[in-house]
Amino acid sequence: MVVLSQPSLDQLSLIKTCKPSTNFSTSIPLIDLSKPDAAKLVVKACQDFGFFKVINHGVSMELVKKLEGEAVKFFGLSQSEKNKVGPAKPFGYGSKAIGPNGDMGWIEFILLSIDPKLVAQKSFYISKENPENFRSLVTDYLEAVRKLSFEILELIADGLEIKPRNVLRRLLEDEESDSVFRLNHYPPFPELQALSGENLVGFGEHTDPQIISVGRSNTTSGLQISLQDGTWVSVPPDHLSFFINVGDSLQVMTNGRFKSVKHRVFADGTKSRYSMIYFGGPPLKSKINVLPSLMKAGEQRLYKEFTWEEYKKSAYKSRLGDNRLSLFEANAIGGR
């Protein structure tokens, strides 16, 4: 299999390394969406971790397997073929560079809009043998994970007693929803691990700026989350479940009751890691503010009101590990 071209010494110096962790957490919430207490458990997980995994999610594992197979085929192409998809500005193929501000990682990825027309345009370059098959798989997969995200947001509304029940869901369901989809490949780099016993950082620590993220991976480990006390723990791989991240926007909308989870990914020394993530974002003009029904008497708003477009532009200007929300805190000087 063809993988990323070997990095130069200069490139490696920009990609951080770390000893691989065996500290797998056994406390990460696992929620069965078919159970009657799912809403209560989802809210508790969002408050305690900002992260959880779900089973009985309704997404076809056969569909997941087929789309992952397409990703494996694409990332196995020569570098010149992959480059033909076009740079991820914003949609396309990316390698090592994460964003425009100098962040680097041992990763290659395809970033796609959820707009079916734009998916179709990119499909020809991603899967020249059968672009219609790739387009169809992505479309079906996005339909399934969006439905899953809607269900989770309605469970959150139930658990927090938010009215109307669809107040969060409708932001992602809107036809102008600014949601995106990313297919990731973290290639192995056994030479480095053999030399130093360390792994390359695939994607450095960060929070997701959107409302919610729905992700899954193959059986290769690498994902870590930061607990509220700052401790980093490894998330055991589970290719049959979906992992749910609270995003910055949902933290704002709950006035800090939910915490946007800080997470990172390490590349495995010997095995490829593949993942796919749906990032649920609202329409650009949507106003992000605490939901009025959550405000208790005398409670202060922690954040200023802003539009998703304002926050997205601010986040795009930042570095990966920056606290993006600090500029939008109610007591922040300057900001938007």
Q: Which residues are part of the catalytic machinery?
A: 273
| Angle, helices 131-160/116-126, rounded to nearest 10 degrees | 140
The DSSP symbol for 227 reads -
Q: Are 122 and 112 in contact (CB under 8 A)?
A: yes
Single out the residue of 234, 215, 236, 218 nearest to residue 226, CA to CA. 234
Q: Are 134 and 126 in contact (CB under 8 A)?
A: yes
Please enumerate in sequence order all residues whose Cβ is within 8 A of that of 106, keeping only pairs 6 or more positions apart, or say none. Answer: 4, 7, 15, 96, 186, 187, 189, 200, 201, 202, 267
User: Distance from CA of residue 278 to its chain's centroid?
Assistant: 6
Single out the residue of 202, 210, 230, 239 nearest to residue 20, CA to CA. 202
Q: Are 265 and 202 in contact (CB under 8 A)?
A: yes
